[in-house]
Each structure stands twice: as structure tokens, then as C-alpha cells.
Amino acid sequence: MTDTFVVALIREALTTVLLVSAPMLGVGLLVGLVISIFQATTQIHEQTLTFIPKILAVLAAIIFFGPWMLHTLLTFSDKILGNLNQFTFIR
């Protein structure tokens, strides 16, 4: 197992993690921004107002993007486990 192979494997793992978490983070960011703009325009400065809409939006994102996220993770796992015989460890 060479250094370049390990770096490529880690890069692919981090890319997969970023791709899978991006929909939930993006939806949470957008909902938080909309609620912050609403709070600024109405001058309602309640700190707990953002929690329930963000939780519901992230749950909706998980339900909507869940099959795609599962497929992405299964593809990555299948690729790793399928090439397991190529991983040689120095003892």
C-alpha cells in the first residue's frame, strides 16, 4: 500500500462524506437564513425559533435525499470491500 494510494483513498472517503452530508447541511443553512431574515424584519429575537423548522427541514432532506445518500455510501463501501484483496499491510 503506497502513500499515494492511501492519500487517494482518504480523498475519496472525504469526498463521499461531503457529498452525503451536503444536502442536509445546505437545507439547514437555507432554512436558518430564511428564519434569520424573518426575525430581522419582524424584530422577533427569539433564539429558540429556529430549532423546530431546521429540524423538520433536515428531516425532510433526509427523507428526500435518503435513497441517493444510501446509494452513494453503498457504492463507496462496495468499491472498498471489492478491492480489499489489493490492500497489503506491512507487518
**DSSP state, 84?**
G
Question: Looking at per-residue confidence, does 7 or 5 come out higher?
Answer: 7
pLDDT, averaged across the chain? 90
In this prediction, residues 60-66 reach a mean pLDDT of: 96
- The answer to whether residue 1 sits within a structural domain is no
- The answer to whether residue 10 sits within a structural domain is no
- The answer to whether residue 74 sits within a structural domain is yes
pLDDT tens, residue by residue, 24-51:
999 999 999 999 999 889 888 787 888 9
- The answer to whether residue 68 sits within a structural domain is yes
Asked whether 2 and 16 are in contact (CB, 8 A), the reply is no
Asked whether 67 and 23 are in contact (CB, 8 A), the reply is no
pLDDT beyond 90 at 56: yes
This prediction has a pTM of 0.78
Which residue type, as a one-letter code, is found at position 35? Answer: I
CA angle 56, 62, 64 (to 5 degrees): 100
Q: Based on the structure, what is the number of domains in the chain? A: 1
Confidence at 4, pLDDT banded by 50, 70, 90: confident
- The answer to whether residue 8 sits within a structural domain is no
Domain hosting 30: range is 21-86
In this prediction, residue 89 carries a pLDDT of 67
Question: Looking at per-residue confidence, does 43 or 64 come out higher?
Answer: 64
Q: Would you give the end-to-end CA distance of the chain in angstroms?
A: 12
